[in-house]
Structure 1
Amino acid sequence: MTAAFFLWYALYVIMSAYARGFMDTKVVGHINVALVFGLLQFVSTFLIAWLYSRFAARQVDPLADKIAHEIAEKGDTA
C-alpha cells in the first residue's frame, strides 16, 4: 500500500512538472485535472488510514492484547 501510494503521489508531482497542458485541462468550470488529482491525494490518504485502522483493530490489536495478557500473567506468578 505504501509503494502504491508513493507511486500515485510521484505520478501527481511528475505530471504537474512535465505535463502541464494535461494538468491544466478543464474538467468542470474552473476545476482542472490538477485540482482533481490533488483532491484525490487527500481522499486516498484518508482511505488508506481508514483501511489500516480497520486492519489494526481486527488483526493487530487482538494480538497485542493477548501478548499483554500473557505478560501480565507471568508477572503475577513471579
Structure 2
Amino acid sequence: MTVAFLVWYLLYVVLSGWARGFMAIELIGEINVGLIFGLLQFVSTFLIAWAYARHAEKVLDPIADKLRHEVEEKTP
C-alpha cells in the first residue's frame, strides 16, 4: 500500500512539473485535471488511513491485547 501511494503521489508531482498542459485541461467549468488529481490525493490518503484503522482493529489490536495480558500476568 505504501509503494502504491508513493507512486501515485510521485505521478502527481511529475505530471504537475512536466505535463502542465495535461494538468491544465478543464473538465467541468474551471475545474481542471490537476485540481481533480490534487483532491484525489486527499481522498486516497483518508481511504488508506481508514483501511489501516480497520485492519488494526481487527488484526493487530487483538494480538496487542493478548500480549499485554500475558505481560501483565507475569509482572509481579
Category of TM-score, reference length = shorter chain: over 0.9
1:1-78 matches, within 5 Å, as: 1-76=1-76
Distance 1:75 1:23 in 2: 60
Unaligned runs of 5+ in 1: none
AA partner of residue 45 (structure 2): T
Q: 1 CA distance for matches of 2:16 and 2:72?
A: 54
Alpha carbon RMSD of aligned pairs, Å? Answer: 0.6
The structure having more radius of gyration, on CA atoms, is 1
- Taking the aligned partners of 1:36 and 1:27, their CA distance within structure 2 comes to 9
- Deviation string, structure 1 residues 18-42 (Cα, Å, up to 9, x no partner): 0000000001000000000000000
Q: Following TM superposition, by how much is the alpha carbon of 1:11 offset from its aligned partner in structure 2, in angstroms?
A: 0.2
C-alpha distance in structure 1 between counterparts of 2:2 and 2:8, whole Å: 10
Unaligned stretches of 5+ in structure 2?
none
Aligned pair count reads: 76
* Greater than 6 Å deviation, 4+ residue runs: none
